[in-house]
Amino acid sequence: MKIKREIKIGIAFVVAILLFIWGINYLKGSDILKDQRYVYGVYNRVDGLIPANPVNVKGVKIGQVDEVRFMQNAQTQVLVKMIITSDIKIPGNSLARIYSSDLMGSKAVEIKLGNSGKLLQSGDTLKTDIEESLKEEVNRQVLPLKRKAENLILSIDSVVTVVRYILDEDTRENLSQSFVSIRKTISNLERSSSNIDTLLAAEKSRLSGIISNVDAIAYNLRQSNSEVTNILSNLSAVSDTLAQANLSKTLGKTNQTLDQINRITTKIDEGEGSLGLLVNNDTLYHKLESSAAELDMLLRDIKLNPNRYVTFSIFGRNPDKNQYEPPKSEEEKGN
């Protein structure tokens, strides 16, 4: 039986259409000749995810994004339909995460495998997550620095305000005078240093002699170390002897003696006793002085006229001279 020309043309047309559909899907990354599974993910935003973006597991492409659209019952959420062309076993609690696949910002979906024993079936919905974009990551890292910078600027502004308030005209003048004084002080220090250098240069020989003498003294001390040790031992023995002596009793007796002397001097000062009268009453002093003067006159008269007081008679006693006659004074002698 001969096939008609029209039938051949129709069959060729259908085959061409099928090849065209297969080629379009193949170019999109979907091979209709392979076993395919459809899984879904619901996102609040997709950040530029478009159909034909790859779906990867650990960097290996296992499918692609088939459709991105708003959900009918909740237009604030986006439904992403993914085609899985690989026969990899995906646990049911796996996570579909949108991330940037290159520096140009191209998006892809990475499935992080879970640990559930129940495998993912066609038509199931995965848990979802979105990787932060480079801008968001930079903003998240820079935001604390921005806040610190703002606080630092506020602190600097406060400090500048305080400095401007403190450094008024009088303070600036005082600071200028202080700097002048510091400059003068430094100049004086330089002159003093120069004078010290000159003095050291002039007295170098004397300093050398002094150092030599000090060395000699140190050498002598080293040589006399045993003698110094003996002296220190003797001092230690003396101190031990003094420590063993009853110093407290001796000091107590000394204090008692000083108290008695203090009472005696107090009585003398108050005029008690003969010594107190002699010290405080000049009448007794004058009488003693007068008596001493009369006694001195009597002794001189006895020396000059002994026969008035001691009589020697060979022939007998003179009755007229039996009475004692006191010595005449100078006035009576003159008369």
The domain spans of the chain are 1-33, 35-131, 203-245
DSSP-H helix ranges across the chain: 5-27, 134-166, 169-202, 204-223, 225-244, 247-270, 273-280, 282-304, 330-334
- How far the first Cα of the chain sits from its last, in Å, is 221
273-280 helix and 247-270 helix, angle to the nearest 10 degrees? 60
Length of the chain equals 335
- Quick check: helix, strand or coil at residue 130? strand
Question: What is the residue-level pLDDT of the chain in tens, covering all 335 positions?
Answer: 456 777 778 888 888 888 777 677 666 655 555 668 889 999 988 888 898 899 999 989 988 898 999 988 777 889 999 988 888 889 989 999 998 887 777 899 999 999 988 998 888 999 998 887 656 666 777 778 888 888 889 888 888 887 777 767 777 777 788 888 898 999 899 888 888 888 888 888 888 888 888 888 888 888 878 887 888 888 888 777 766 666 667 777 888 888 888 888 887 777 676 666 666 667 767 777 888 888 888 888 888 887 777 665 544 445 444 444 555 555 455 54
SS3 127: strand
Residue 108 neighbours by CB under 8 Å, 6+ apart: 53, 54, 55, 56, 98, 99, 100, 101
The answer to whether the CB of 114 falls within 8 A of the CB of 94 is: yes
Could you give the CA distance from residue 64 to residue 52 in angstroms, rounded to a whole number? 5
pTM exceeding the 0.85 threshold for the entire prediction: no
User: What is the pLDDT at residue 80?
Assistant: 93
Q: What pLDDT shows up at residue 242?
A: 66
Structure tokens at 213: 């003498």
Predicted local distance difference test score (pLDDT) of residue 24: 72
pLDDT of residue 97: 92
